[in-house]
Amino acid sequence: SVSPQAAWCELPSRVLLVLTSQRGVQMYDADGSTMVFWHALDVPELPAAHSVFARGIAAAGGRFVCVGTSFGAVLVFDIPPKGTNVTLSEVLEQHRDPITDMAAEQGQAPDGAGDLVTADDSGTLCLWSSGEEFALLGKIPGSGCTCSSVALWNGIVAAGYGNGQIRLWEAGSGRIRAQLSAHARWIYAIDLAPLTGKLLSGAEDSFVHVWKLSRDPDTDDIEVQHCHAECVTDTQVCGARFCDPAGDTFAVTGYDLSEILCYGPA
Amino acid sequence: VMNDIISTMFNRKFMEELFKPQDLYSKKALRTVYDRLAHASIMRLNQASMDKLYDLMTMAFKYQVLLCPRPRDVLLVTFNHLDAIKDFISDSPGILNQVDETFRRLIETYNPLSDGEFQLIRQTLLIFFQDMHIRVSIFLKDKVQNSNGRFVLPISGPVPWGTEVPGLIRIFNHKGVEVKRAEFSTAGNYVTPQREGSFELYGDRVLKLGTNMYSVTRPVETHMSGSSKNLASQAKENIAPNPLAKEELNFLARLLGGLDIQKPAGDSGFRLNLFTTDEEEEHAAQTRPEELSYKVINIEATQEPARRAELSRILGELDVAEPRPGSAGKGEDLLALMDGL
């Protein structure tokens, strides 16, 4: 069975705590005291061998909460400013493989770049523009390697893969702009600090890396600098997140680790 | 003894049951099936030795799953196990055939799965083993386990097949042409792998995980002190017995018990003691921390009509959610199968 996921979905009017599991999706008030909404997954016609679960959560367009599913569909929920009248507004069916992760634009999207990216087991990435009806702006085909984690910032998709590679894609054109042989094992976590363009990656190889993304103003090429490496000895890193929007501090979790490790400037 | 255990484990009906898509067994259920397997021959073990054997198996398996370089390598580890098993019974063509059958079935079922699906399998297994830190002396000696019970994760050696050695940053312009290369360095010391392991019936697996740990003879000890900190919470999970689970176990046990098991008559059996003396074994039984006791369920492997009635009664009491199209409840499938035996 799949581990449950939890994510804060920040919307202008409210913050929801969204949980995914094998049953479906649950949404709670920010303090976790009231369940606002739940959605049980419809089990589609699939061979019995395939498990059904929800995975991948993102708040998009200041109004929607999107959740991925193991059958490749992305559920779009329309969230009212308050109350429990959440409705399933759309089901996006562009992925053919289980959704792994999704992310909303954290900075300023250039024209035509979209504000949501969704990723799946085959490494396929879809770029969307949110709204009453979501529009598919582009699809980056996978090359067989699972895209396990994804972030979107200023029209750059930062994608972490099961083979330890990080790829940076131009959201508007779908072209690859950087390839990093970042880790020796499956990447579990990718995070971005929107104020500085710092990128965080955590993987099963015990390493957490901090990178700095920027744009060359003349060529518009993406530049990547490696800033810092942290080795969490004998631990497979499962989660890594910046704790502040500038990326000065970050937190790490790992398999068999009952603590959350926090790293910051000396 | 080898022949009996292996032919029981690879019994066709038992394998068919195992290959059905299903949730992971609970810890209690797994231990019970394991006990049954371990007693499929004239060999007997006392509670203490049985506990120790199970601890060893659990930690060795956890180690192998955890250290798989790629999620897909859990299959290569499985193939290593099967290769070793085939070696044990190489002069019994009947049993060898059973094992090959299972081998082919594994290849057919699992070879086509994606990396993502394998990672899901691996994650599920790792969750099962979470918080288990029993120290195994062969692992401590070989420096694959720390004195706190956690496994050593090396940051050197060959990278998994399909992964690049970390260190390179490549930049592409808007036309997709590589315009810059840069390097970064870390504490890791990785190298390129030589070749990929084989997923065929015969072949060089390349991966050493899952090969016989005891090909060099060594004393085997397990240490539990200091490893039981988080087990109290685990023990609480399993307190409420699931009556349906027990009936399913009885069914599984019947499948396992379907073969003629030679009961030791008088002194003709033998007892395996995993400790150096009988006194040590007795002492271990008495001093085993409460949280680590496995609370084995007693199984009667005989056919009783009363059991089937019991199963129906239990099912009747369960809240059945609205039926999903095309799939009968798990209990009904089981009943149908029992009817057929």
The pLDDT tens digits of the residues spanning B31-73 come to: 988 888 888 888 888 889 999 999 999 999 999 999 999 999 9
Amino acid letter, residue A171: A
Res. B337 pLDDT band, cuts 50 70 90? very low
Count of beta carbons in the 10 Å neighbourhood of residue B96 = 17
**Res B65: pLDDT:** 97
- Assess A258–B contact: CB distance below 8 Å, yes or no: yes
**Res B340: pLDDT:** 41
Q: Which residue has the higher pLDDT, B214 or B129?
A: B129
Dmax (CA) of chain A: 55
End-to-end CA distance of chain A: 40
**Res B326: pLDDT:** 38
Most confident of A223-227, B88-92, B332-336: A223-227
From the list A205, A212, A113, A216, the residue with the least C-alpha distance to A165 is: A205
Residue A113 three-state SS: coil
- Inter-chain CB proximity A234 and B146 less than 8 Å: yes
A68 pLDDT higher than 60: yes
Chain B neighbors of A255, CB-CB under 8 A? 66, 126, 130
Question: Residue A83 has what DSSP assignment?
Answer: S
CA distance A188 to A100: 10
CA distance B238 to B29: 10
Q: Which A-chain residues 136-195 have CB contacts (< 8 A) with chain B? A: 144-146, 148, 162-165, 170, 173, 175-186
**Res B43: pLDDT:** 86
**A123 Cα to chain B: minimum distance (Å):** 10
Q: What is chain B's alpha carbon radius of gyration, rounded to the nearest angstrom? A: 23
**B226 Cα to chain A: minimum distance (Å):** 15
The residue ranges of every structural domain in chain B are: 1-153+205-216+270-289
B91 pLDDT higher than 70: yes
Res. B149 pLDDT band, cuts 50 70 90? very high
Amino acid letter, residue A205: D
Q: Which residue has the higher pLDDT, B66 or B289?
A: B66
Mutate to test the interface with B, among A100, A101, A122, A204 (most CBs of B within 10 A): A204
A11 Cα distance to chain centroid: 16
What angle, rounded to 10 degrees, do the helices at B93-110 and B2-9 form?
Answer: 40
Mutate to test the interface with B, among A185, A187, A224, A258 (most CBs of B within 10 A): A185
**A233 Cα to chain B: minimum distance (Å):** 7
Q: In terms of C-beta density within 10 A (0-12 exposed, 13-18 middle, 19 or more buried), how is residue B19 classed? A: middle
Across the interface, which of A3, A231, A258 has its CB nearest the CB of B123? A3
Mutate to test the interface with B, among A143, A170, A180, A215 (most CBs of B within 10 A): A180
Question: Residue B151 has what DSSP assignment?
Answer: B
How far lies A97's CA from each of A55, A57, A89, B114, in Å? 12, 16, 22, 10
User: Which H, E and C letters describe A222-248, residue by residue?
Assistant: EEEEEEEEEECCCCCEEEEEECCCCCC
- Inter-chain CB proximity A97 and B130 less than 8 Å: no
CA distance A229 to A231: 7
- Assess A255–B contact: CB distance below 8 Å, yes or no: yes
Res. B219 pLDDT band, cuts 50 70 90? low
Cβ–Cβ under 8 Å, residues A134 and A164? no
- From A179, which residue of chain B is nearest by alpha-carbon distance? B170
Q: How much of chain A, in percent, has pLDDT values that exceed 90?
A: 88
Looking at A79-93, A126-140, A178-192, B29-43, which range is the least confident one? Answer: B29-43
**Res A4: pLDDT:** 81
CA distance B244 to B310: 9
Across the interface, which of B127, B160, B327 has its CB nearest the CB of A185? B160
The phi and psi torsions of A117 (rounded to 5 degrees) equal -120, 135
Mutate to test the interface with A, among B62, B132, B171 (most CBs of A within 10 A): B171
pTM of the model: 0.83
Cβ–Cβ under 8 Å, residues B169 and A213? no
CA distance A117 to A5: 18
CA distance A121 to B69: 18
β-pairing, B135-136 with B43-45?
A: unpaired
Q: Which residue has the higher pLDDT, B6 or B300?
A: B6
- Inter-chain CB proximity B174 and A175 less than 8 Å: yes
Q: How much of chain B, in percent, has pLDDT values that exceed 90?
A: 47
- DSSP lists the bridge partners of residue A53 as none
Count of beta carbons in the 10 Å neighbourhood of residue B234 = 15
From the list A85, A118, A160, A58, the residue with the least C-alpha distance to B166 is: A160
